């Protein structure tokens, strides 16, 4: 691979001198602040699903050749593709949304560099940006850049059939923005600005040429026109630059009908396509963090509670059905009163859960409320973990089956069956997955600095190290969660002592009276109230201070919304799958299920005897790769 070096990045920036990360953070609206990816690293332990998944994903990023990723962009700009084999699936030359995977590849590369210092990945992504710059120059259309011709926007204007040009355009804007703001690549910033200029000019043209109702038809009328996170992106640009153009542009993508209904807290989500509706709600959240308009916060809060309370499975996942009509529709939200009839082989698309994590992260920041962290964890451990076949990189799920006698290799989504393949899938659940797996160290810790008192919030139990260089402090978290219920936190500092509040999350699922906290081997007498933060009774911390936190987990039944006798079985926050192809009736006494495996070197394994005498074994859903399983069981 030959590197063409353009102005602005003759040498790599060092991780310590990076520019401000892209997310616009206005402290007025945030109780908790996130750490940047370069401050938190995943570390190994006897069981680290986040790290293993991240490494597998990196192996996938590594095996994708740059020229194949660029193929459709080259074709679009009349650059020779001789000797290059095109990719398949949603990236194939005939796909309307070609080029989106590369856009996410840039996002993931920037994060791989920040999160685990993968300079090799950064160099690969810099090369891709340089080639995209060639494409943008060759296209010579006032900044337009895509793997498809600008004709797609004309088709939108004429309300002709075309698949999601605005969505595609936004993904590339985001990819360039991440390369610019996260890794300091100024060329990417210039290219992004040119793309924005083009978009602005086009939108001005549309506003002068077409009526508002025509514009609304162009943007909101069909699922094929899915417009993705464009409002989120544009509001963020407005926050970063104060350029009013971006505010105006963002507003044109606020769907008044949809957002207005949410502002009124009405649940009209039945039959609504999930993944095209989560990002615009995140856009509302972004608008709130920039303008402080309360109704935009309310829109996001209401959306969350409607989805969470009325359309969500025990895994935290929230869409899918088994047919193509009414409340059964695939990729749609189901009727909350009929959820039990939607359990099938194509529930919860990965990309929806990815977007829900983004949305819930906003709620965590705004409110610091533990219920949102519980929700975040539920999705994280059940709907992110367990979506890759670990036998080889690049085999990931579109939807996650939650039905009776289902299996991941027989899941349905993206127009095919089972785990996808390395070069012929590239679904929306691949694009979002490569980004998700590079940022698995995100949202484990938050902090606040209100009234100049530092506080750290420990939210997720994931083997990791927080390196807070400014404070001359590291905190190492060692855990094999959930195979073991303890997590051990050690302070590392060169300072004599450091003053800060430590807040540990007490999860909703904890068995309080069998859980405890030790500081330097001394058992603390503190109440552990489920769904709260426990404030540790110590302010001054020294090198080598150690907290051992044991969170006892219990088995529980969680009924589905519309049937109190149809339950999913959880161990702490972990959803279990029964290794059986039939939903046998279980005893309503949860104590009939017993834990078999005891050490953190083995999978959690449980066993019970169904009422008809059948012995059923259960594994965490995330540890099931190819076996047939059943998630919901009737109890009697
Ligand atoms: C992580 O630790 C486990 C157990 O200590 C070990 O078996 C495994 O090889 C380690 N993995 C890596 C990538 O270091
Ligand atoms: C594409 O490139 C070829 C070879 O460089 C050239 O002959 C052809 O005119 C170009 N086509 C367009 C549409 O620019
Ligand atoms: C990042 O990796 C490079 C080598 O690729 C190394 O020189 C550098 O010290 C690393 N930086 C950090 C902060 O780990
Ligand atoms: C939605 O969930 C809320 C909270 O659990 C509940 O009060 C409400 O009845 C549910 N609505 C429907 C239609 O099920
Ligand atoms: C949907 O699932 C139900 C059982 O839950 C089944 O009877 C029905 O045939 C399924 N429909 C389709 C279209 O697969
Ligand atoms: C799952 O099945 C696929 C297809 O048969 C196979 O390639 C893969 O190795 C299996 N994975 C595991 C972990 O057994
Ligand atoms: C955490 O510390 C406890 C108490 O010293 C120890 O029993 C346990 O093995 C440790 N866990 C890990 C993952 O290091
Ligand atoms: C713990 O509390 C539960 C009720 O929440 C009670 O049933 C159980 O007996 C208690 N166990 C101990 C060891 O005190
Ligand atoms: C623990 O679970 C695994 C299945 O993941 C099984 O192969 C192993 O035999 C179990 N160990 C014990 C001691 O039951």
Give per-residue pLDDT as tens, 22-37. Answer: 555 566 789 999 999 9
Q: Does residue 314 belong to any structural domain of this protein?
A: yes
Q: Does residue 230 sit in the same domain as residue 340?
A: yes
Burial of 3 per CB tally in 10 Å (0-12, 13-18, 19+): exposed
The residue nearest atom 4 of ligand 9, judged by CA position, is: 603
Number of CB atoms found within 10 A of residue 367's CB: 15
Kindly report the backbone phi and psi dihedral angles of residue 584, in degrees, each rounded to the nearest multiple of 5, phi listed first: -70, 155
Closest ligand 9 atom to the C-alpha of 623? 5
- Residue to probe by mutation, ligand 3, list 13, 119, 124, 465, most atoms within 8 Å of CB: 119
Q: Does residue 84 sit in the same domain as residue 151?
A: yes
Cβ-contact 404, 568 below 8 angstroms: no
Q: Does residue 158 sit in the same domain as residue 209?
A: yes
Determine the distance separating the centroid of ligand 3 and the alpha carbon of 132, expressed in angstroms: 27
Q: Which two three-digit tokens encode residue 477? A: 């978290």
Query: In Å, how far are 203, 219, 405 from 265, measured between CA atoms?
Result: 31, 23, 36
Q: Does residue 197 sit in the same domain as residue 229?
A: no
Ligand nearest to the CA of 594: 9
Last residue of a domain, one of 180, 201, 221: 221
Q: Does residue 273 sit in the same domain as residue 241?
A: yes
Q: Does residue 512 sit in the same domain as residue 542?
A: yes
Q: Does residue 427 belong to any structural domain of this protein?
A: no
The residue nearest atom 11 of ligand 9, judged by CA position, is: 597
Determine the distance separating the centroid of ligand 8 and the alpha carbon of 570, expressed in angstroms: 19
What is residue 5's predicted lDDT score, i.e. its pLDDT?
32
Alpha-carbon span 243 to 240, nearest angstrom:
8
Alpha-carbon span 148 to 153, nearest angstrom:
10
Q: Does residue 440 belong to any structural domain of this protein?
A: no
- Residue to probe by mutation, ligand 3, list 11, 14, 15, most atoms within 8 Å of CB: 15
Q: Does residue 174 sit in the same domain as residue 267?
A: no
Q: Does residue 320 belong to any structural domain of this protein?
A: yes
Closest ligand 1 atom to the C-alpha of 45? 2
Residues with CB under 6 A from ligand 1: 44, 46
What is residue 21's predicted lDDT score, i.e. its pLDDT?
52
Closest ligand 5 atom to the C-alpha of 324? 13
Q: Does residue 239 belong to any structural domain of this protein?
A: yes
Q: Does residue 189 belong to any structural domain of this protein?
A: yes
Determine the distance separating the centroid of ligand 6 and the alpha carbon of 339, expressed in angstroms: 30
DSSP strand pairing (501-506 vs 455-458): parallel
Q: What is the dihedral of CA 623, 624, 630, 633, to 10 degrees?
A: -10
Ligand nearest to the CA of 520: 7
Q: Does residue 89 sit in the same domain as residue 178?
A: yes
Report which of 403, 427, 98 is spatially closest to residue 419, judged by C-alpha positions: 427
Q: Does residue 580 sit in the same domain as residue 595?
A: yes
DSSP state of 543: T
Q: Does residue 58 belong to any structural domain of this protein?
A: no
Number of CB atoms found within 10 A of residue 520's CB: 11
Alpha-carbon span 64 to 101, nearest angstrom:
11
Determine the distance separating the centroid of ligand 2 and the alpha carbon of 78, expressed in angstroms: 6
Determine the distance separating the centroid of ligand 4 and the alpha carbon of 333, expressed in angstroms: 15
Closest ligand 9 atom to the C-alpha of 619? 5
Alpha-carbon span 333 to 403, nearest angstrom:
16
State the CATH number of the domain containing residue 544: 2.60.40.1180
Closest ligand 3 atom to the C-alpha of 117? 1
Determine the distance separating the centroid of ligand 1 and the alpha carbon of 498, expressed in angstroms: 32
Cβ-contact 262, 302 below 8 angstroms: yes
**Number of domains, the chain:** 4
Q: Which two three-digit tokens encode residue 581? A: 């192809």
Closest ligand 3 atom to the C-alpha of 120? 5
Q: Which two three-digit tokens encode residue 484? A: 């073991």
The residue nearest atom 10 of ligand 4, judged by CA position, is: 310
Closest ligand 6 atom to the C-alpha of 418? 4
Query: In which residue are the tokens 């529980």 written?
Result: 556
DSSP state of 382: I
Q: Does residue 566 sit in the same domain as residue 452?
A: no
Last residue of a domain, one of 366, 399, 432: 399
Ligand nearest to the CA of 138: 2
Alpha-carbon span 221 to 227, nearest angstrom:
11
Q: Does residue 147 sit in the same domain as residue 279?
A: no
Q: Residue 113's domain spans which residues?
A: 64-221
Report which of 567, 549, 555 is spatially closest to residue 605, judged by C-alpha positions: 555
Ligand nearest to the CA of 51: 1
Q: Which two three-digit tokens encode residue 609? A: 């005897």
Alpha-carbon span 398 to 388, nearest angstrom:
10
What is residue 413's predicted lDDT score, i.e. its pLDDT?
87
Output helix, strand, coil percentages for the chain, rounded to the nearest 5: 40, 20, 40
**Ligand 3 pocket check for 12: Cβ under 6 Å:** no
What is residue 117's predicted lDDT score, i.e. its pLDDT?
97
Ligand nearest to the CA of 421: 6
Determine the distance separating the centroid of ligand 2 and the alpha carbon of 298, expressed in angstroms: 53
Determine the distance separating the centroid of ligand 7 and the alpha carbon of 635, expressed in angstroms: 37
Determine the distance separating the centroid of ligand 2 and the alpha carbon of 74, expressed in angstroms: 12
Residues with CB under 6 A from ligand 4: 267, 309-310, 336-337
The residue nearest atom 9 of ligand 7, judged by CA position, is: 486
Q: Does residue 153 belong to any structural domain of this protein?
A: yes
What is residue 92's predicted lDDT score, i.e. its pLDDT?
98
Segment 527-548, tens digit of pLDDT: 999 999 999 999 999 999 999 9
Burial of 235 per CB tally in 10 Å (0-12, 13-18, 19+): buried
Alpha-carbon span 358 to 340, nearest angstrom:
27
What is residue 322's predicted lDDT score, i.e. its pLDDT?
66
Report which of 351, 358, 349 is spatially closest to residue 432, judged by C-alpha positions: 351
Q: Which two three-digit tokens encode residue 444? A: 């484990």
**Ligand 3 pocket check for 469: Cβ under 6 Å:** no
Global pTM?
Answer: 0.95
Cβ-contact 396, 429 below 8 angstroms: yes
What is residue 11's predicted lDDT score, i.e. its pLDDT?
39
Alpha-carbon span 265 to 373, nearest angstrom:
22
Alpha-carbon span 261 to 268, nearest angstrom:
8
Q: Does residue 135 sit in the same domain as residue 19?
A: no
Last residue of a domain, one of 550, 572, 606: 550
**Ligand 6 pocket check for 623: Cβ under 6 Å:** no
Query: In Å, how far are 309, 597, 633 from 300, measured between CA atoms?
Result: 14, 41, 33
**Ligand 9 pocket check for 625: Cβ under 6 Å:** no
Low-confidence spans in the chain with pLDDT less than 50: 1-12
């Amino acid at each position: 691979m030959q590197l063409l070096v353009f102005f602005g990045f003759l040498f790599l920036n060092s991780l310590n001198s990076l520019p401000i990360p892209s997310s616009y953070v206005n402290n007025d609206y945030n109780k908790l602040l996130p750490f940047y990816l370069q401050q938190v690293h995943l570390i190994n332990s006897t069981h680290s699903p986040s790290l293993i998944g991240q490494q597998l994903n990196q192996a996938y990023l590594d095996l994708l050749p740059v020229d194949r990723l660029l193929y459709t962009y080259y074709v679009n700009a009349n650059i020779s593709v001789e000797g290059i084999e095109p990719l398949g699936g949603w990236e194939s030359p005939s796909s309307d949304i070609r080029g989106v995977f590369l856009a996410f590849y840039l996002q993931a590369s920037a994060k791989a560099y920040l999160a685990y210092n993968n300079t090799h990945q950064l160099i690969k992504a810099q090369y891709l940006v340089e080639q995209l710059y060639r494409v943008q120059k060759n296209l010579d259309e006032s900044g337009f850049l895509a793997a498809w011709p600008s004709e797609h926007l004309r088709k939108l204007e004429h309300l002709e059939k075309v698949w999601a040009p605005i969505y595609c355009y936004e993904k590339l804007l985001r990819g360039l923005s991440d390369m610019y703001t996260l890794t300091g690549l100024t060329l990417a910033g210039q290219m992004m600005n040119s793309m924005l200029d083009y978009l602005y000019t086009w939108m001005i043209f549309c506003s002068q040429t077409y009526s508002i109702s025509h514009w609304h038809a162009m943007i909101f009328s069909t699922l094929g026109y899915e417009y993705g996170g464009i409002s989120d992106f544009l509001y963020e640009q407005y926050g970063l630059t104060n350029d009013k153009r971006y505010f105006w542009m963002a507003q044109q993508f606020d769907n008044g009908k949809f957002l207005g209904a949410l502002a009124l807290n009405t649940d009209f989500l039945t039959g609504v396509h999930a993944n095209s509706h989560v990002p615009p709600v995140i856009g509302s959240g972004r608008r709130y963090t920039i303008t402080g308009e309360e109704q935009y916060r309310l829109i996001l809060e209401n959306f969350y509670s409607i989805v969470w309370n009325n359309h969500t499975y025990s895994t935290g996942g929230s869409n899918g059905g088994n047919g193509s009509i009414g409340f059964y529709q695939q990729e749609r939200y189901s009727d909350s009163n009929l959820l039990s009839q939607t359990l099938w082989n194509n529930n919860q698309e990965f990309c929806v859960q990815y977007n829900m994590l983004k949305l819930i992260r906003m709620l965590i920041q705004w409110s610091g409320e533990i219920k949102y962290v519980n929700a975040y964890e539920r999705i994280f451990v059940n709907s992110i973990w367990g979506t890759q076949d670990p036998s080889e990189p690049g085999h990931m799920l579109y939807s996650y089956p939650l039905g009776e006698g289902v299996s991941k290799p027989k899941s349905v989504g993206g127009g095919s069956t089972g785990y996808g393949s390395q070069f012929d899938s590239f679904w929306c659940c691949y694009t979002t997955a490569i980004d998700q797996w590079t940022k698995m160290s995100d949202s484990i810790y938050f902090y606040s600095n209100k009234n100049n008192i530092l506080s750290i919030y420990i939210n997720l139990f994931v083997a990791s190290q927080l390196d807070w260089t400014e404070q001359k402090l590291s905190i190492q978290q060692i855990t094999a969660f959930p195979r073991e219920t303890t997590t051990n936190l050690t302070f590392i500092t060169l300072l004599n002592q450091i003053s800060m509040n430590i807040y540990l999350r007490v999860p909703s699922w904890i068995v309080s009276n069998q859980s405890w906290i030790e500081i330097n081997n001394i058992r603390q007498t503190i109440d552990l109230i489920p769904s709260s933060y426990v404030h540790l009774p110590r302010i001054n911390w020294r090198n080598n201070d150690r907290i051992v936190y044991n969170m006892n987990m219990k088995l529980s039944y969680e009924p589905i919304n519309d049937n109190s006798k149809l339950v999913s079985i959880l161990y702490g926050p972990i959803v279990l799958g029964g290794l059986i192809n039939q939903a046998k009736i279980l005893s309503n006494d949860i104590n009939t299920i017993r834990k078999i495996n005891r050490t953190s070197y083995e999978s959690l394994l449980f066993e019970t005897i169904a009422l008809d005498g059948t012995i059923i074994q259960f594994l965490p859903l995330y540890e099931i790769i190819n076996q047939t399983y059943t998630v919901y069981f009737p109890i009697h």
